[in-house]
Amino acid sequence: MGNCSQGCKDYFSRQKNTNIRLTLPVVCFVWQIAMIILFGVFIRYDKESNAHWVETKAHDNITSDIENDFYFRYPSFQDVHVMIFVGFGFLMTFLKRYSFGAVGFNFLIASFGLQWALLMQGWFHSLDPQTGKIFIGVESLINADFCVAGCLIAYGAVLGKVSPVQLLVMTLFGVTLFAVEEYIILNLLHARDAGGSMVIHTFGGYYGLAISRVLYRPNLHQSKRMQGSVYHSDTFAMIGTLFLWMFWPSFNSAITDHGDGQHRAVINTYLCLASTVLTTVAISSLSQKTGKLDMVHIQNSTLAGGVALGTAAEFMISPYGALIVGFFCGIISTMGYIFISPFLEKTLKIQDTCGIHNLHAMPGVIGGIVGAITAAAASESVYGKQGLINTFDFTGDFKDRTVLTQGGYQAAGMCVSIVFGVVGGAIVGSILKLPIWGDPADENCFDDEVYWEVREPATHHLLQPHSP
Amino acid sequence: MGNCSQGCKDYFSRQKNTNIRLTLPVVCFVWQIAMIILFGVFIRYDKESNAHWVETKAHDNITSDIENDFYFRYPSFQDVHVMIFVGFGFLMTFLKRYSFGAVGFNFLIASFGLQWALLMQGWFHSLDPQTGKIFIGVESLINADFCVAGCLIAYGAVLGKVSPVQLLVMTLFGVTLFAVEEYIILNLLHARDAGGSMVIHTFGGYYGLAISRVLYRPNLHQSKRMQGSVYHSDTFAMIGTLFLWMFWPSFNSAITDHGDGQHRAVINTYLCLASTVLTTVAISSLSQKTGKLDMVHIQNSTLAGGVALGTAAEFMISPYGALIVGFFCGIISTMGYIFISPFLEKTLKIQDTCGIHNLHAMPGVIGGIVGAITAAAASESVYGKQGLINTFDFTGDFKDRTVLTQGGYQAAGMCVSIVFGVVGGAIVGSILKLPIWGDPADENCFDDEVYWEVREPATHHLLQPHSP
Amino acid sequence: MGNCSQGCKDYFSRQKNTNIRLTLPVVCFVWQIAMIILFGVFIRYDKESNAHWVETKAHDNITSDIENDFYFRYPSFQDVHVMIFVGFGFLMTFLKRYSFGAVGFNFLIASFGLQWALLMQGWFHSLDPQTGKIFIGVESLINADFCVAGCLIAYGAVLGKVSPVQLLVMTLFGVTLFAVEEYIILNLLHARDAGGSMVIHTFGGYYGLAISRVLYRPNLHQSKRMQGSVYHSDTFAMIGTLFLWMFWPSFNSAITDHGDGQHRAVINTYLCLASTVLTTVAISSLSQKTGKLDMVHIQNSTLAGGVALGTAAEFMISPYGALIVGFFCGIISTMGYIFISPFLEKTLKIQDTCGIHNLHAMPGVIGGIVGAITAAAASESVYGKQGLINTFDFTGDFKDRTVLTQGGYQAAGMCVSIVFGVVGGAIVGSILKLPIWGDPADENCFDDEVYWEVREPATHHLLQPHSP
């Protein structure tokens, strides 16, 4: 037993080998071939993207092509797509020498994850019982992008400390867990969560934090010289911040109800985010001796309002309600960067490179709570009779549900997403701890040279740590 | 009196204190709380973003959700949103060490201003007399972004020379003035100005120039080492240029009439901007000894055509007319950078960091004139009877207005915007001159280190002035 | 004869003069004035962008403005517009000191080309026989952007080695050739090619390669120090890559049929591109000793799937079919960078700066073949009777065409685009070889200082070649 334990220890602490020339191509190829086969068996065009659409139109008395769901959702889809690839990708380029990894691995795992998401979400949400097929359209693409967002959030916690192979494994399990928790929350509990405060941000946040906890590196300070920004890398990161910030109204409205649902979600998110910017700036300025602003806060906390309105954006939270949510999120998220992140690292041993706890996990939980309260407080006088039914989808099995009950189920959904994140992350973290995935040594973290051909040698001044 | 004058002088010339740890947070918090209260009192969802939409549809015999104004305007809104935050923000990153201030303060004042704009524009344009409420929808959001654009233009003139607190004050008054002049021009004079040549660009331009005049710094040369670009900062600025250029057709069409109005505004702006690029390149090349191009011209003057078509974009100016406008704007704007900017600085003591006189003020005035002429020349044979009424909104009190009269009122509108810009800017400039706002000393202008935690020390080669 | 030959040789090998102060402005001005005149004679608003639209609506029983083609195509148009200016522009910023040229000249020739494209495409496709006018709307703008794309692809082959005047000449002829081959392929052969695998990518690719062959520089190694990337320039290039990648679904769907046609093209392209990313990463990793990834591959080959689905995107290729196309394109394109590009340079003397052979020419040919096969395999059971007619436009003169015949014509179209590219490129290349265009000397290639005022001197470390 002692010997085994010693053997295990040796096994785990042996010299790191970051050669991924075998594992990375194999995972990519095997996976992509599997996807082709599974898509061949399961995935078909839905009736709005099928060449039989002309017959569908005649059959359903649809008078114009403009009624095709494509025209309701495509602009929002493209905005979400930009958020996933440019938004998340560039937001993580703030590290001085990890821009390739930030943008490139984000690109890889999103492309990988969205295919699996179409299958997983299809099996759980839209498998046609008669044909055994999954019929996809533009809404499926949006949902796949959403699902991937959860995994990209988790990437933020481990940025610079894992190999691309680990990221692919993390994404594979992340998408799987996502589809299950989403099924429980949206279908079984019948909670509403159009912008994903719970299913995307809370889940993704805790999933990443739990993985980061399991992969804790006590000697991470050995790569401290790399763990910071330079002037231009902070500017690149602002590209990510702004595209996320600007398109968040599309994110929260992309799959809400046609008409007023999408319209209202946009207005609420727009206002909430504007409010967040002001309180973020206020707290950031307060936190420094002479009132200087910190780019870390501006890059991240300004987005917390969008996260926190993910559930309630489609509700009649009213414009000032949206401002209030944003007001508190900016404060809480910025304070998170100042006080909570150091605490998490020192006490709970959670090394959170991008501070996803402050940007996604906490605001996600706030969003779940706001959603539950707003739902419970909904009334026919505010929504109108039919409006209430439409907004909360009180139809079919749920036609007798009251708003109070709905509030309760919203809160329950919140808990489900936390549990899935924490437990799922702990398990997946353990898998990722196996010493076969090619992760970097402690002294080589946050350095693109490990996994990328870097043509230009890093110069001294770029790598000097900041000495105030 | 002499004593007082001496005392005043001392008061104004004392050592600059750029500590904004008190003022910035206080302004942000007070302001945001005020916004929440005012929104609570005044702002409501309009009938297209309200959950009662289902009843509205039934009542108004609207057959499909796609008739919701959201679907007519949301794609344009998102493009405008990108112009405001990425376009204006990155365009100003050209300075070697002021990218954080350019993107970050742009972000701050736009978020601040758009809330106030919703209120101010609401009070002036859409306050419901019965309920005393302002009902907002996607068009309100576009108008708020437009209003903010005026202030961001003004920011360009004072870039690098003011504190964020000054910018917030400038935005507060800027939005207020904007709403009033907009009310006079669009409602009282009933001028047309969908893309804002007059209300946005002319006003914003002169507002900024007047402020810059009042805040004239005779010793600005002390920070000359910082007042220039480096290779990467010029590349970042091109991100701003291109997003402004590409999305300008959306800017000029965002609030024009449904159908042909939006369609035509896009075509005109697209053509006009293409033409501007060619003449900008031509003049830029002519201005240098061996025909080399200057990034300053390419970054800015290529956009002048969009500004100058802000009024006439929705008119039947015809495709070649749009090309002609662009042709002259490229020439005039580039020549402005070569000849007029140095003159303004030396003779009129107007220090215009971004050259907004060449990009916004002058082309805005051209746009106003083009609009007046095109309106006066409009005819029923070209527009059709109903087309003429729709395009110029000759309804209600204005149903008997002739196109010639309309042309006169367009020209009057032009003058109103100039007067508001110059007078308003002079007054606001005087307020900003008070030595309580934390502005930087002459030798610290154009330097992010004054208001931002900058992690990486500036290296020598980055700060060397250009020696040809 | 011998004397003449010697004289010619001297004439061609004289000292390079890169002064373009005369030629560039003259070309720009003459051209722009010609455009204004030709637009005045030929170009008018179409009925959907004309103020008479209100009468058109009444006449055609159109019940809502939302039926205006503008609302079907404007979001896609804007995405395509971003691809042309930001996508192509930033993709080429990867060189360490050619970002101004990449973004700036791309901007210039696109603005120049799109005007000519509106005329050329108008004359060939939509000249109204009665009025002798060309009526333009949003679809014309998309087609003009498409046409320009062909020339921007060609620019990729000669990036850094030509003067802006040469680029303008290249664009002038490129657009002309494009309009003719497009007319032959789409109208005479009645082939389908909505996303332009053949007419855009194959033509543009071979056009650029042929030009580059004629302009072969045996001593290009003299500017080897400039021919590579630095860390930040690679990050800038990823902006281009991602915007191209994200918006490619809009590119391939922008002019497809309303309804299912646009919807399906988006789904297919989305899936195909995701698949390409995985196989690109796999091959890139395999190609390096320790499995490191190469930015060149990630920046370029990830896009090959979009190119290859340009023809078939609107067909019922089915989701797994799209994945298969992407699978092989990622492999072939990446291998092209590793094996074929060095071969082309060494053996065929084709210096292809951006590797357009791997990103556009080869995938374009694959796309043509995939299109031909998919068309030939189309069946009424899959498409439905009317769906088949709509998709392949089997109406009018072509109402009796079978799918097999269609497949044959698709293949013929493929050949036409190759022939036009190669022959046209060879001829245009010969014109560009004249020593009057101000192209740079061999030792000054890939250097912005030749045609741009560069304020900051290049520092040593930026220009050091990579020493592994």
Cβ pairs bridging B and C (under 8 Å): 235
Q: Kindly state whether C408 is in contact with chain B, defined as any CB-CB distance less than 8 angstroms.
A: no
- Name the residue among B39, B66, B81 with its Cβ closest to that of A246: B81
Q: Which residue of B has its CA nearest to C76?
A: B75
> Positive or negative, the Cα torsion across B59, B63, B66, B69?
negative
Q: CA angle, A152 as apex, A149 and A154 as ends, to 5°?
A: 115
Tell me the pLDDT tens digit for each residue of C63-121. 999 999 999 999 999 999 999 999 999 999 999 999 999 999 999 999 999 999 999 99
Q: How far apart are CA B363 and CA B356, in angstroms?
A: 10
Cβ atoms A450, A444 nearer than 8 A: yes
A445: left (phi over 0), alpha (psi -120 to 50) or beta: beta
Cβ atoms C327, A36 nearer than 8 A: yes
Which one, of C256, C393, C275, C390, lies nearest residue C314 by Cα?
C256
C258: left (phi over 0), alpha (psi -120 to 50) or beta: beta
- The residue assigned the tokens 């941000």 is A201
Q: How far apart are CA A406 and CA A311, in angstroms?
A: 13
Q: Using CB atoms within 10 A of its CB, is residue A132 exposed (0-12), middle (13-18) or buried (19+)?
A: exposed
Confidence band (pLDDT; 50, 70, 90) for B455? Answer: confident
Chain B residues within 8 A of C232 when measuring between CB atoms: 232
pLDDT for the residue A17: 87
Chain A residues within 8 A of B137 when measuring between CB atoms: 263, 267
Q: How far apart are CA A11 and CA A34, in angstroms?
A: 31
Q: Which residue of B has its CA nearest to A468?
A: B455
Chain B residues within 8 A of C37 when measuring between CB atoms: 320
Distance of CA B455 to the CA centre of its chain: 32
Which one, of A350, A357, A466, A377, lies nearest residue A418 by Cα?
A357
- Name the residue among A43, A51, A97 with its Cβ closest to that of C260: A51
Percent of chain C having pLDDT more than 90? 91
Which one, of C291, C468, A287, C58, lies nearest residue B453 by Cα?
A287
- The residue assigned the tokens 């006169």 is B408
pLDDT for the residue C67: 95
- The residue assigned the tokens 């907002």 is B136
- Name the residue among C66, C320, C382 with its Cβ closest to that of A36: C320
Which residues are within 8 A (CB) of B170 and not within 5 positions of it... i.e. 6 or more apart? Answer: B109, B151, B154, B155, B158, B162, B211, B428, B432
Distance of CA B395 to the CA centre of its chain: 29
The mean per-residue pLDDT over the stretch C183-195 comes to 96
Stretch 40-59 of chain A: residues touching chain C, C-beta under 8 Å: 40, 43-45, 48-55, 57
DSSP, collapsed to helix, strand or coil, labels residue C45 as strand
Cβ atoms B42, B119 nearer than 8 A: yes
Amino acid identity of B258? H
- Name the residue among B228, B291, B320 with its Cβ closest to that of C20: B291
Which subunits have 3 or more CB–CB pairs within 8 Å of chain C? A, B
Taking 60 as the threshold, does the pLDDT of residue C204 lie above it? yes
pTM here is: 0.96
Confidence band (pLDDT; 50, 70, 90) for C461? Answer: very low
Stretch 176-215 of chain B: residues touching chain A, C-beta under 8 Å: none
- The residue assigned the tokens 């985010």 is A273
Q: Using CB atoms within 10 A of its CB, is residue C143 exposed (0-12), middle (13-18) or buried (19+)?
A: buried
Which one, of A315, A327, A310, lies nearest residue A272 by Cα?
A327
Stretch 92-131 of chain A: residues touching chain B, C-beta under 8 Å: 96
- Rounded to 10 deg, the angle between the C362-376 and C319-335 helix axes is 150
**Phi, psi of C45, rounded to the nearest 5 degrees:** -65, 140
The reply to whether residue B259 touches residue C112, judged by beta carbons under 8 angstroms, is no
Alpha-carbon distance B441 to nearest alpha carbon in chain C (angstroms): 25
pLDDT for the residue C467: 38
Stretch 258-317 of chain A: residues touching chain B, C-beta under 8 Å: 258-260, 262-264, 266-267, 270-271, 273-275, 277-279, 281-283, 285-286, 288-295, 298, 302, 316
Alpha-carbon distance B56 to nearest alpha carbon in chain A (angstroms): 10
**Phi, psi of A44, rounded to the nearest 5 degrees:** -135, 160
Q: CA angle, A28 as apex, A82 and A421 as ends, to 5°?
A: 60
Tell me the pLDDT tens digit for each residue of C351-379. 999 999 999 999 999 999 999 999 999 99
Cβ atoms A124, A199 nearer than 8 A: no
Higher pLDDT, A3 or C142: C142
Which subunits have 3 or more CB–CB pairs within 8 Å of chain B? A, C
- Tokens for B465, please give them: 């002035």
The reply to whether residue A245 touches residue B70, judged by beta carbons under 8 angstroms, is no
Q: How far apart are CA C253 and CA C267, in angstroms?
A: 9
pLDDT for the residue A3: 52
DSSP, collapsed to helix, strand or coil, labels residue C69 as helix
pLDDT for the residue B14: 58
The mean per-residue pLDDT over the stretch B225-238 comes to 94
Beta-ladder partners of A134: A43, A127
Chain C residues within 8 A of B229 when measuring between CB atoms: 455-456
C-beta neighbour count of A433 within 10 angstroms: 15
pLDDT for the residue A6: 61
The reply to whether residue C235 touches residue A103, judged by beta carbons under 8 angstroms, is yes
Q: Kindly state whether B28 is in contact with chain A, defined as any CB-CB distance less than 8 angstroms.
A: yes
Cβ atoms B468, B114 nearer than 8 A: no
Confidence band (pLDDT; 50, 70, 90) for B465? Answer: very low
The reply to whether residue A32 touches residue C278, judged by beta carbons under 8 angstroms, is yes
pLDDT for the residue C16: 80
Q: How far apart are CA A155 and CA C300, in angstroms?
A: 24
In a mutational test of the A interface, the residue from C227, C270, C301 whose CB has the highest number of chain A CBs within 10 Å is C270
Q: Kindly state whether A28 is in contact with chain C, defined as any CB-CB distance less than 8 angstroms.
A: yes
- Name the residue among A79, A293, A382 with its Cβ closest to that of B104: A293
pLDDT for the residue B464: 45
Chain B residues within 8 A of C114 when measuring between CB atoms: 274
Q: Which residue of B has its CA nearest to A325?
A: B36
Which one, of C180, C206, C183, lies nearest residue C193 by Cα?
C183
Stretch 132-161 of chain B: residues touching chain A, C-beta under 8 Å: 136-138, 141
Cβ pairs bridging A and B (under 8 Å): 236
The reply to whether residue C43 touches residue B319, judged by beta carbons under 8 angstroms, is yes
Minimum mean pLDDT range among B14-23, C29-38, C131-140: B14-23
Confidence band (pLDDT; 50, 70, 90) for B2? Answer: very low
The reply to whether residue A29 touches residue C234, judged by beta carbons under 8 angstroms, is no
Q: Kindly state whether C325 is in contact with chain A, defined as any CB-CB distance less than 8 angstroms.
A: no
Higher pLDDT, C155 or C9: C155
Alpha-carbon distance A263 to nearest alpha carbon in chain B (angstroms): 5
Q: What is the 3-state secondary structure (H, E, C) of chain B?
A: CHHHHHHHHHHHHCCCCCCCCCHHHHHHHHHHHHHHHHHHHHEEECCCCCCCHHHHHHHHCCCCHHHCHHHHHHHHHHHHHHHHHHHHHHHHHHCCCCHHHHHHHHHHHHHHHHHHHHHHHHHHHHECCCCCCEEECHHHHHHHHHHHHHHHHHHHHHCCCCCHHHHHHHHHHHHHHHHHHHHHHHHHCCCCCCCCHHHHHHHHHHHHHHHHHHCCCCCHHHHHHHCCCCHHHHHHHHHHHHHHHHHHHHHHHCCCCCCHHHHHHHHHHHHHHHHHHHHHHHHHHHCCCCCCECHHHHHHHHHHHHHHCCCHHHCCCCHHHHHHHHHHHHHHHHHHHHHHHHHHHHCCCCCCCCCHHHHHHHHHHHHHHHHHHHHHCCCHHHHCHHHHHHHHCCCHHHCCCCHHHHHHHHHHHHHHHHHHHHHHHHHHHHHHHCCCCCCCCHHHCCCHHHCECCCCCCCHHHHCCCCC
C-beta neighbour count of A458 within 10 angstroms: 17
Q: What is the dihedral of CA C301, C303, C308, C310, to 10 degrees?
A: -160
- Name the residue among B74, B108, B452 with its Cβ closest to that of A295: B452
pLDDT for the residue A455: 81
C-beta neighbour count of A17 within 10 angstroms: 13
Which one, of C365, C272, C361, lies nearest residue C314 by Cα?
C272
Tell me the pLDDT of chain A (468 aa) as tens digits. 445 556 555 555 556 888 999 999 999 999 999 999 999 999 999 999 999 999 999 999 999 999 999 999 999 999 999 999 999 999 999 999 999 999 999 999 999 999 999 999 999 998 999 999 999 999 999 999 999 999 999 999 999 999 999 999 999 999 999 999 999 999 999 999 999 999 999 999 999 999 999 999 999 999 999 999 999 999 999 999 999 999 999 999 999 999 999 999 999 999 999 999 999 999 999 999 899 999 999 999 999 999 999 999 999 999 999 999 999 999 999 999 999 999 999 999 999 999 999 999 999 999 999 999 999 999 999 999 999 999 999 999 999 999 999 999 999 999 999 999 999 999 999 999 999 999 999 999 999 999 999 987 655 444 444 433
The reply to whether residue B24 touches residue A291, judged by beta carbons under 8 angstroms, is yes
Confidence band (pLDDT; 50, 70, 90) for C289? Answer: confident
DSSP C105-130: IHHHHHHHHHHHHHHHHIIIIIB-TT
Cβ atoms C328, C366 nearer than 8 A: yes
Q: How far apart are CA B348 and CA B424, in angstroms?
A: 18
DSSP A116-168: HHHHHHIIIIIB-TTT--EEE-HHHHHHHHHHHHHHHHHHHHHTTTS-HHHHH
